[in-house]
Every structure is written in C-alpha cells, then in structure tokens.
C-alpha cells in the first residue's frame, strides 16, 4: 500500500493521470450523481425543511404500494424463468453438439440488440384481444394484459442477458473436468450434478441478479402489456405525465432504487468474487463430450420452440407495418410506411446523430476510465470503478426523472436541448464503454506499458503510442455496443424528448400504447433494420479484429 | 571501485508482506550482477524498484551517484528486458527498437543509425521490418535486448529474460548476453532463480531469501564458501555436517563430526571460531574422493560403505554411510561403480565452515 503522501508525490509527477482522473470524476458527479441526488432531495423536500410527507402519502396509497410489490413479484418470477431459459440455451450452445447453433445464437443476439419492448409490442399483435394467433387463428379472445402476459414477455426479453453471462461461465469450465469425472466412474447425470452445476452456480447467481435489476427497471414492456398490473416504473411515469407530481415520482424512484442498488452491490462485490477460476496445469484441447441423445434432442427442441416464438415476434413486426388494420383488415398497404417516412425520419436522424455522438464519447471515456482505474494506483480508484459501473444498474426512467429535476433550473439548464439527451445517453452507457475498455486492458500485459515507460515515455505518451493503439478493438466494441443501445433506448429519454428533439423508440411506444399497431410496427421495423444492419456491417468490416457478441 | 547502482536500506512492502527488507549493497560499474533466489524472495521486486515501477517504503536508490528514489521510471534511464520481452505488438521490430530514442530527441538519421548498429551487434538486421508476432522466442529476446541497449542506459535490467527459452538456446544466449555486456562495458543487473545460470554469467551474485540479502560474492565464493545454510542449500547439492570445533590454529581448524571422526578445514579469516563451538561443515559432492584402497594422504579420510549409486552422465553419484553420516559424493568417469567398503577423503581447502548451526 502506498501511503497518502507517496500517492500525492507520485501524482504531482503525472499530470495526465490526474487530469483524466479528475475529468472522469467530475463528469460522473455532474451527470450521474447529481441527478440521483436531486431526486433523493426532491422526495424529502417539504415547505419547511426536510419532510417525509410524500413517503407517508405513498404508504397510504394502496395502488402505489401494490405497484411496488408487483415490481418485486415480477422481478422474482421473470428472473427465475429467464435464468432457466438462459441456462438451457447456454448449456446447449457450449456443451451439446446440435444442429442450428448459428441460428440460435443469431436469435439471441437479435434479442440483445432489439428495442427493449419489441416482445411486448408483438405479443399484443400476436396474442392480444385481436391477436393474429389467438383471435385470428384460434378464434378466441385471449387476455394477454396482466401479470402472466408480462411474465412471458419479460422472460423472452431478458433470457438473452442471462445467456450472455452463463455462456461465459460455461465456456470457462474446462471440459477436462467432465472427462475426469467420467473417468472416475460418474454417469452423465452425475457429471452434470457434481461438476457442471456446482461450478456454474456463481455464474447463475450473477446472471439472475443482472436479470432482476433489468426487470425491475424495465419500463416499455409493462407500459404496453401490464394492464391493471401496475409496476413502479409505469406508476412513476403516470405521476409525471398524468399528474405532474414530480415529488411522488421521485419517491417511487427512490423506493425502487433501493432493491436495485442491493442487487447491484450483491452482483458486483459478492457473487462476482465467488466465480471459480478453474486451476489447471496446461490448457486442454479436448472437445466437448458427446451428450446423450435424449438430452440433446430435448435441448434442441427447447431452443427451437423459443427461437420460433422470437422469429414469430419479428415476423409480426415486419408484417404489421404493411397491413391496413392489424386484427381487422390484413390487406396490404404502404400507408404506415408513408407516415413513418413523414414523421419518423427526422426522429431517426436525431437518433443517429445522438447515438453516434454518445457512442463515440462512451467508447473513449470508457476506455480512458478503465485505463486509469486498472493501471494507475490512485486514491479513490475503487470509488471511480463503482460509479462507472453503477449506471448500468440504475433504471433508465430513474435517471431520466433525475435529469429533468436537475437540469431544469440553474446552474445548468439543459432541458429541451439535444445535449440533455446525449449526456444522459453517455452517463447511462458509460458502463458499456467501460466494460469494453476493461476487457481490452486485461488482454494487454502490463509489462508492455512498463516497457514504454522504462524507455522514457510518460503516461500521456504511453497512452498515445502504446495503450490506445492496442485498445483499438476495445474502442470499436465500446462504440458499437453503446451506439446500438442509444438507438433503441426508451425509458430514460422518454422524459427528455421534445417535439423538436424526438426519438423513434418513444414514438413507437406512444403509437403502440394508442393502438396504432401498423405505424408502430413500421417504425420498429425500420429502426431494427438500421440497428441490425449496423451490426452486420461492423462485423463484416471489422471481422475478427473487433469481437462483437461472440456468444 | 566505481558504483553504478547503490541501494541503501531499500525496503518495499506490499500490505503486511515485506518484499524487500532493508537491502543494502552496491553494484560495481561495468559489472554483471545477478540477483539470485527462490521465487518470492524479492529479487524481481528489487529490480522493479530500481527501474522505478515500485516506490520504496524506506531507503534510497542511487544510479551513478544520483538519488533516483523519487524519480519517475521514465526519467531513470534504465533499460529493462522483461521476462516476456514486452515487445510492442503493433510496432515493427525497427520501431520497437527506436521507441526509446523518440523521447531522447535524436535526429531521425542518427536514430536510424543507432538502431541499425545495435541490431547489427545482435544479428537481427534482417528482422527490422517484421512484427514481433512473426519472430521466434530467441529472436524476440534479441529485439528486447536491442531495444533496451539502444538508449544507452545507465544500467541494463534483466528480469529473467532467459526463462522463456529452450534449455539449449538458453545456454547459448547467456554466453552471448555476457559477451555483449563486456563489449559495451555497461552495467547489468540480472534476475534469475536458476543457480547454474547465475554461476555461469555473474561477476557478482546477490543471493536473496525472504526479502533479505543473504550473501554477496563472486560465483566461486558463493559456491564454495556459502556464509549461510540457505545459500549452501539453495545452490547445487551439498553435504552439511553438524560439527564441533575441537581446535583452531592459524592454518587449520579441527572439527569433530562424530565419534572418532575428526576433519580438518583451512582457516577462513572471516569466520571467527572458538574451541568447543558448534558449527556446520559444508562439502560439495564433487570435492569428495572415493577409493577402495586407503588413500595415502594424511587426515580427512573416513571409512564407509556405499549404500547406493546413481549414474548421472558426466558423474556418478555415491551415497556413502560413514558412522552416523550419509555423504553424497560425485565422482567423474567410473564405468564400474565401486561397491561395499570404501574410503572417502576430502582436501581440507574444500571444507567450509558455516558458523551457524541449524
């Protein structure tokens, strides 16, 4: 450990590090911590000093208290189901030799980059009161709205997140361990029960916590499909849009933030430390073991069914843009497309500009942030690490509401400007760039930078000549991931957009909740085409140099 | 003696672990000094502290008389060769070697000339346009050495640079390294855990254990006159015998190693002994001679029995029981190993006394 005086002595000789360090702190302070703080302050502000009147009011309103329990309940059941689906998918992709893996992986990636409420939107079109399948094919009205509908939607929406974590975990379990168990006389079921499962438990916990945070914070799907089953996210929105009651909205945000924060702490500091590092002498080159036929075909059918539903989801969205009135009149029309071209293009242009800007900023800030955190032994680096990863856990609508509360008044008025959207995007997606940067830095041997310093280069020159060139692919990955996220983000920006600075995803959500399926579907299809196209082009151009969704 | 690097009570702690514990010694100018010790002994930490990658908790480091304790690493002008070479993977060999010259404001032409010169010396001119990934381990190692040498460092720091090479290449390269160091007349500090390498390459060896400097000396001193049991044990195979001093004279010391077993050792002026004191006697296996007939020499002859032999190529290793002692002796040649009753003898100059008894 360096003593304080040694650290400061060291700092005074490294202006680059201290500059980057202060800049990173300042940015997160102003554009992340301040909005969160303002929200807490707003919830306890009374006419004469701090007051908990709004919290008392909250407790007295059954509907609101219920929405809190509903949020928790939905998080528990969706997390369980999404984690199971994610695990089965991940196990199938890493441990089973089955056909169609590329297709299944493609489906997962599609879900990961899609609009966050795609499933909700298409479920209404497929299984709603006038749904193509329920009403059209089966001829019976079905009530999709409610907790059961939301549960299915959240499971399909978030299982890819669990999958992403679990694939990493399962890949890191050396197949040699399974051969060893087998060699010692264990049957397949025992190999799974005694080796694979125990080794992946921390990963499963990690995946579950991640899914839970996302379900708690999700706004789009509940807004569309929850019906009378109210959750905190939609209630907070209603408090602002319906009643103009910012203080109650702040109370709701704070109440939801507490469980999310606990999950975040658990994930970052507890579960992630328990992940086993497999200790092996030399890496084995053993392929995956042959799975029993029964297991193989069960998993294959399972993946096929889930993937078929997802294909159906995207088909309905693609189709929905071209039929006159979904549920009533399925004749071909281009009228929705005309609307989209007229109304949606400016919003898409905005989205492109905002996403390019914030994507670039996230990539650069994230990589620099990761660099100073992982390469410089500075006082407070754990704190910076913490506040650089926390935004990923904070539900979008909470930060969105924090932004309107903070930047509506001096000293910094940003409302109704494009900057508020861009800055919000950057603050929210910084963890994406940070993750990419971290992954990149862990690939570079420290001694390569030390060699540069040893030869006479200072921090700035080492960063410019050695570290950044070697982090090119991390920068690329950070940019593409945050670009995609910004293109489809909805819950935070829904509070920040204006008619002039509008964005496609809030427009789609608005259209869908008003029942304009055709227009919503058409605009979704265009947005998805852009996002998928971007990813495909980047993958084709960058090839292996930038690892994108290697799932 | 001119000192290139001096350490004065240098101490480095990591949390509660003291990695380097009050190290004090000087490295002679133009010498090849080896830091030797088992893994975790603090040798690499010490080397990295000299390079400036660690800030000392206590003490001082001087390079060519300049106190560099608080000088950041990029201003110390040390050239380091890393264990994994740490070549910049995105730069060609030429740019790798030229990198350090960028920060020393050399005109382009002169920089290029210097790069070519050092590349010529190391026989890697033909590799200048390649990327590190296209080189073999040995070639990468040369590039790393060239990169460290081209800046004309005050001291060349070598962090186990041979450990990633094949055994055969390693022996060849270490001869070459030493040759280059002598040719250029620069000071080198080399870290290794390989005692054979240390003996072969070092002008001076600094033996370290648990953060402390245990002994500093020439290879022969370290090998034949270990000052501590650790040094004797760590380097090669050695016989360590419990002994009691019987009599000391100006020329020799008589020690009893068992009932009616008295050996005489040459007096070492650095080791003060008094009669009746316990001590440890160290004898290298190759210092022991074995014969079936009683040798003609006087004194230092013990009678024993061969328990086991191992054929080791150049030598045959004998395990001989004499009284309560088991001695290891390496004998060259011997096609047909001796069996049964034998005489072991050792020259009194090859016996070394450690004052400590463990």
Same domain (yes/no): B112, B151: yes
Contact at CB, A455 and B99, closer than 8 angstroms: yes
Same domain (yes/no): B78, B210: yes
Nearest to B55 among A10, A450, A453 (CB): A10
d(CA B208, nearest CA chain A) in Å: 23
Please indicate, yes or no, if residue A74 is contained in any of the structural domains. Answer: no
Task: Tell me whether strands B261-266 and B315-322 are parallel, antiparallel or unpaired.
Answer: unpaired
pLDDT < 50 regions, chain A:
1-4, 278-281
Same domain (yes/no): B127, B225: yes
Contact at CB, B89 and A448, closer than 8 angstroms: yes
Same domain (yes/no): B223, B119: yes
d(CA A349, nearest CA chain B) in Å: 37
d(CA B49, nearest CA chain A) in Å: 12
A278: CB partners within 8 A, 6+ apart: A172, A173, A174, A177, A199
pLDDT for res B332: 87
pLDDT for res A74: 96
Same domain (yes/no): A535, A402: yes
* Closest among A266, A263, A260 to A231, alpha carbons compared: A260
Same domain (yes/no): B65, B200: yes
Mutate to test the interface with B, among A451, A452, A545 (most CBs of B within 10 A): A451
**What chain A residue is nearest to B51 in terms of C-alpha separation?**
A454
Which domain-ending residue is among A320, A346, A374?
A320
Same domain (yes/no): B272, B332: yes
pLDDT for res A540: 87
- Please indicate if any CB of chain A lies within 8 Å of the CB of B5: no
| Number of domains present in the structure of chain B | 2
pLDDT < 70 regions, chain B:
1, 334-335, 356-358
Same domain (yes/no): B225, B249: no
d(CA A451, nearest CA chain B) in Å: 6
Same domain (yes/no): B138, B209: yes
Which domain-ending residue is among A320, A346, A372?
A320
Same domain (yes/no): A408, A447: yes
Same domain (yes/no): A94, A39: no
d(CA A466, nearest CA chain B) in Å: 7
Same domain (yes/no): B121, B176: yes
CA distance linking residue B326 with residue B240, whole number of Å: 10
**What chain A residue is nearest to B159 in terms of C-alpha separation?**
A447
Same domain (yes/no): A266, A365: no
pLDDT for res A10: 55
Which domain-ending residue is among B198, B233, B268?
B233
Same domain (yes/no): B186, B254: no
Cβ contacts of A470 on chain B, cutoff 8 Å: 88-90
Nearest to B70 among A9, A14, A455 (CB): A9
Nearest to B100 among A6, A10, A455 (CB): A455
| Backbone phi, psi, residue A73, to 5° | -60, -45
Contact at CB, A445 and B86, closer than 8 angstroms: yes
Q: Which CATH number fits the domain that encloses residue B78?
A: 3.40.50.300
Same domain (yes/no): A290, A367: no
pLDDT for res A280: 46
Which domain-ending residue is among B217, B233, B249?
B233
Same domain (yes/no): A103, A190: yes
Same domain (yes/no): A356, A460: yes
Angle at B37 between CA B83 and CA B175, to 5 degrees: 55
pLDDT for res B356: 66
Cβ contacts of B78 on chain A, cutoff 8 Å: 454
- What is the DSSP secondary structure assignment for residue A392, as one 8-state letter? G
CA distance linking residue B308 with residue B328, whole number of Å: 10
Nearest to B72 among A13, A450, A465 (CB): A13
- Please indicate if any CB of chain A lies within 8 Å of the CB of B87: yes
Contact at CB, B78 and A466, closer than 8 angstroms: no
Half-sphere exposure of B307 (CA within 13 A, CB side): 12
Same domain (yes/no): B101, B19: yes
CA distance linking residue B353 with residue B265, whole number of Å: 8
Contact at CB, B78 and A454, closer than 8 angstroms: yes
Contact at CB, B88 and A466, closer than 8 angstroms: yes
| Number of domains present in the structure of chain A | 2
A222-265 pLDDT, tens per residue? 999 988 899 999 999 999 888 888 889 999 999 999 999 999 99
Mutate to test the interface with A, among B73, B115, B164 (most CBs of A within 10 A): B73
d(CA A21, nearest CA chain B) in Å: 19
User: What are the start-end ranges of the E strands in chain B?
Assistant: 3-14, 17-28, 32-36, 58-63, 66-67, 78-81, 155-159, 188-192, 204-209, 212-217, 239-248, 252-258, 261-266, 278-283, 288-291, 301-311, 315-322, 325-332, 341-346, 352-354
Contact at CB, A466 and B73, closer than 8 angstroms: no
Same domain (yes/no): A353, A315: no
Domain span including residue A419: 15-51+331-551
**What chain A residue is nearest to B89 in terms of C-alpha separation?**
A470
pLDDT for res A2: 44
Cβ contacts of A3 on chain B, cutoff 8 Å: 57
Please indicate, yes or no, if residue A69 is contained in any of the structural domains. Answer: no
Q: Which CATH number fits the domain that encloses residue A535?
A: 1.10.3720.10
- Only one residue has tokens 């869908």, namely A512
**What chain B residue is nearest to A470 in terms of C-alpha separation?**
B90
d(CA B202, nearest CA chain A) in Å: 23
Which domain-ending residue is among A297, A320, A343?
A320
Same domain (yes/no): A297, A368: no
Which domain-ending residue is among B207, B233, B259?
B233
Cβ contacts of A1 on chain B, cutoff 8 Å: 13-15
Contact at CB, B73 and A457, closer than 8 angstroms: no
Contact at CB, B151 and A456, closer than 8 angstroms: yes
Contact at CB, A451 and B87, closer than 8 angstroms: yes
CA distance linking residue A449 with residue A468, whole number of Å: 11
Same domain (yes/no): B191, B319: no
d(CA A455, nearest CA chain B) in Å: 5
Nearest to B74 among A6, A448, A453 (CB): A453
Prediction pTM value: 0.82
Please indicate, yes or no, if residue A3 is contained in any of the structural domains. Answer: no
Contact at CB, B90 and A14, closer than 8 angstroms: no
**What chain B residue is nearest to A459 in terms of C-alpha separation?**
B74
- Please indicate if any CB of chain A lies within 8 Å of the CB of B75: yes
Domain span including residue B281: 237-354
CA dihedral B12, B13, B14, B19 (to 10 degrees): 70
CA distance linking residue B90 with residue A470, whole number of Å: 7
pLDDT for res B141: 92
Same domain (yes/no): A132, A210: yes
């Amino acid at each position: 450990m360096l003593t304080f005086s040694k650290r400061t002595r060291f700092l005074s000789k490294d202006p680059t590090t201290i500059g980057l360090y202060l800049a990173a702190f300042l940015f997160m302070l102003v554009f992340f911590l301040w909005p969160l703080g303002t929200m807490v302050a707003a919830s306890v502000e009374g006419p004469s000093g701090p007051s908990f009147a709004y919290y008392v009011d909250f407790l007295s309103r059954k509907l609101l208290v219920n929405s809190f329990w509903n949020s928790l309940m939905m998080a528990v059941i969706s997390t369980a189901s999404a984690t199971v689906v994610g695990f089965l998918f991940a196990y199938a992709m890493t441990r089973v030799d089955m056909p169609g893996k590329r297709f299944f992986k493609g489906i997962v990636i599609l879900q990961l980059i899609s609009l966050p409420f795609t499933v909700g939107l298409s479920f209404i079109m497929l299984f709603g009161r006038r749904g193509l399948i329920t009403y059209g094919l089966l001829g019976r009205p079905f009530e999709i709205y409610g907790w059961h509908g939301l549960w299915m939607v959240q499971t399909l929406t978030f299982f890819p997140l669990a999958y992403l974590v679990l694939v990493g975990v399962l890949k890191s379990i050396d197949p040699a361990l399974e051969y060893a168990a087998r060699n010692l006389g264990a049957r397949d079921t025992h190999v799974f029960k005694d080796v694979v499962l125990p080794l992946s438990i921390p990963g499963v916990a990690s995946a579950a916590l991640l899914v839970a945070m996302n379900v708690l914070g999700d706004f789009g799907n509940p807004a569309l499909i929850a019906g009378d089953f109210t959750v905190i996210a939609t209630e907070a929105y209603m408090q602002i849009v319906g009643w103009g009651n910012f203080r109650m909205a702040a109370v709701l945000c704070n109440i939801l933030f507490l469980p999310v924060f606990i999950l975040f702490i658990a994930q970052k500091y507890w579960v992630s430390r328990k992940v086993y590092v497999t200790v092996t002498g030399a890496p084995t080159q053993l392929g995956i073991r042959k799975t029993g036929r029964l297991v193989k075909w069960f998993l294959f059918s399972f993946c096929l069914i889930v993937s078929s539903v997802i294909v159906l989801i995207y088909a309905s969205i693609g189709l929905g843009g071209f039929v006159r009135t979904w549920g009533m009149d399925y004749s071909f029309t281009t009228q929705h497309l005309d609307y989209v071209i007229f109304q949606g293009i400016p919003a898409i242009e905005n989205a492109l500009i905002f996403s390019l800007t914030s994507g670039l900023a996230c990539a650069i800030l994230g990589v620099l942030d990761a660099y100073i955190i992982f390469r410089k032994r500075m006082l407070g680096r754990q704190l910076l690490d913490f506040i650089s990863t926390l935004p990923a856990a904070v539900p979008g609508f909470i930060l969105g509401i924090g932004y309107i509360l903070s930047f509506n008044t001096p000293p910094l008025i940003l409302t109704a400007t494009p900057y508020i959207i861009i800055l919000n995007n950057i603050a929210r997606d910084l963890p994406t760039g940070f993750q990419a940067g971290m992954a990149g830095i862990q690939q570079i041997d420290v001694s390569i930078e030390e060699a540069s310093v040893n030869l006479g280069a200072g921090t700035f020159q080492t960063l410019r000549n050695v570290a950044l060139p070697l982090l090119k692919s991390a920068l690329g990955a950070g940019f593409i991931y945050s670009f995609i996220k910004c293109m489809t983000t909805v819950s935070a920006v829904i509070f920040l957009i204006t008619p002039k600075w509008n964005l496609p995803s809030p427009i789609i959500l608005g259209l869908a909740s008003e029942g304009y399926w055709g227009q919503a579907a058409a605009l979704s299809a265009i947005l998805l085409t852009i996002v998928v196209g971007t990813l495909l082009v980047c993958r084709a151009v960058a090839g292996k140099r930038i690892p994108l969704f290697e799932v | 003696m001119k000192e290139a690097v001096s350490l004065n009570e240098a101490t480095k702690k990591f949390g509660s672990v003291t990695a380097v514990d009050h190290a004090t010694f000087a490295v002679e100018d133009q010498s090849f000094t080896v830091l030797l010790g088992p893994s975790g002994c603090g040798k690499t930490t010490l080397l990295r502290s000299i390079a400036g990658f660690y800030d000392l908790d206590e003490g001082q480091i001087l390079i060519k008389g300049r106190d560099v304790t608080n000088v950041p690493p990029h201003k110390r002008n040390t050239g380091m060769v890393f264990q994994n070479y740490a070549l910049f993977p995105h730069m060609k060999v030429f740019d790798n070697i030229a990198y350090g010259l960028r920060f020393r404001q050399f005109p382009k032409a002169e920089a290029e000339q210097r790069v070519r010169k050092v590349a010529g010396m190391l026989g890697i001119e033909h590799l200048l346009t390649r990327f590190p990934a296209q080189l073999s381990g040995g070639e990468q190692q040369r590039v790393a050495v060239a990169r460290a040498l081209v800046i004309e460092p005050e001291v060349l720091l070598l962090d186990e640079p041979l450990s990633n090479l094949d055994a055969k290449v390693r022996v060849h390269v270490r001869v070459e390294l030493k040759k280059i160091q002598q040719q250029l007349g620069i000071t080198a500090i080399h870290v290794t855990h390989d005692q054979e390498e240390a003996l072969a390459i070092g002008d001076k060896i600094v033996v370290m254990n648990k953060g402390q400097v245990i002994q500093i000396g020439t290879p022969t001193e370290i090998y034949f006159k270990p000052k501590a049991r650790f040094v004797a044990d760590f380097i090669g195979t050695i016989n360590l015998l419990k002994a009691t001093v019987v009599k000391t004279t100006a020329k020799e010391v008589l020690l009893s190693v068992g009932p009616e077993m008295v050996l005489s050792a040459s007096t070492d002026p650095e080791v003060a002994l008094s009669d009746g004191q316990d001590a440890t006697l160290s004898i290298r296996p190759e210092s022991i001679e074995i014969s079936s007939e009683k040798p003609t020499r006087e004194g230092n002859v013990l009678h024993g029995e061969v328990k086991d032999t191992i054929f080791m190529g150049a030598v045959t290793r004998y395990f001989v029981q004499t009284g309560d002692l088991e001695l290891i002796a390496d004998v060259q040649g011997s096609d047909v190993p001796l069996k049964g009753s034998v005489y072991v003898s050792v020259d009194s100059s090859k016996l070394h006394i450690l004052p400590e008894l463990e």
